[in-house]
Amino acid sequence: MADQNHSVSPVKDGMLTYCYLLLYIALSSGQIFFNKWVLSSKEINFPYPLGLTLLHMIFSSVLCFVLTKVLKILKVEEGMTLEIYTTSVIPIGAMFAMTLWLGNTAYLYISVAFAQMLKAVMPVAVFILGVAAGLEVMSMRMLLIMSVISFGVLVASYGEININWIGVVYQMGGVVGEALRLIFMEIFVRKKGLKLNPISMIALCLLIPWIFLEKPKMDAQGSWNFQPLVLTLNSICTFALNLSVFLVIQHTSALTIRVAGVVKDWVVVLLSAILFADTKLTLINIFGYAIAIGGVAAYNNFKLKKEVTRAAISDNNSSSSSIPTASSSTKVSS
């Protein structure tokens, strides 16, 4: 009976993990479509990506405060000092704010599918910045992988019918912001053993440019229709997406979320061609994106092997240090 329960448990855990992955893919894809609709729809008439992102962060900040301070369902990282805040939270929050702002702004100019294709170049940006920061080592294999990804994105861009270079610049700016955030996470957080969630700092970093860039436009326009129900649902979806990412990483790994992200990108690209009139996929688009995704898969595989090797070395070191020496054995026996 015990063996039967023991065999059922891994199956149950596996099913739960797959449910979390499916939830992440559904929420992530749905949030992209939701944001595109809110920003581009004439019914909503809310073409303010900074304002929308700021609303998300304020909503998440309030909800996090309720969950951690009032209901005390979630725990927060203790020991936050001014040095940690200035050297870790501020730069990471600023880069995250930049990613969200520029990425959402790109939806005003380019299709959802093309935006996802451009995002495939993310590993290239992360690797180049990692080499510059001394976190990655240049090798022929990585150079080949980065070349494949870049070539695939170039082919996909060449096949885009209605290319808008303003949207491309915004999207690539978002890619650089996300790459810098990941590098800062590696330098400032993981090496210090901290777990940070700089939502409040993100809101502050968004508030400042919103006051100068979008608020005057909103005041001058005066005709946009604020729909509390729609924008509240949009904010709830954003918070649920962040929660699903936490659940997936908690039950699997950061690499799994990257692989699930690749699946999500394909879902978004294909569904956006059905849902949005501004998305017109060509064979060159799909061919180039397939090449880029192949390069991303090779990159993820390389990172997985590197992490496995690092874990094996760490286990060997810990096991060898736990073996008693001859002198200690003699002392015990005597």
pLDDT per position in the chain (334 positions), as tens? 455 555 446 667 678 878 888 998 999 999 999 999 999 887 787 889 999 999 998 998 888 888 878 887 766 555 556 676 676 777 878 888 899 999 999 999 999 999 999 999 999 999 999 899 888 888 999 999 999 999 999 999 998 888 899 999 999 999 999 899 888 877 766 555 555 556 767 888 899 899 999 989 888 876 666 688 898 999 999 889 888 877 777 777 666 777 788 889 899 999 998 888 778 889 999 999 999 999 998 988 888 787 778 777 776 766 665 555 444 333 333 3
Q: What is the pTM assigned to this prediction?
A: 0.80
Q: CA 285, CA 305: separation in Å to the nearest integer?
A: 30
**Per-residue DSSP letter, 2:** H
Q: Tell me if 52 sits within 8 A of 288, measured CB to CB.
A: no
Q: Tokens 């950061």 label which residue?
A: 254
Q: CA 117, CA 42: separation in Å to the nearest integer?
A: 26
Give the CA-trace dihedral at 90, 56, 98, 243, to 10 degrees: 70
What are φ and ψ of residue 52, in 5° steps?
A: -65, -45
**Per-residue DSSP letter, 161:** S
Query: Tokens standing for 26?
Result: 């559904």
- 208 burial via Cβ count (<10 Å: 0-12, 13-18, 19+): exposed
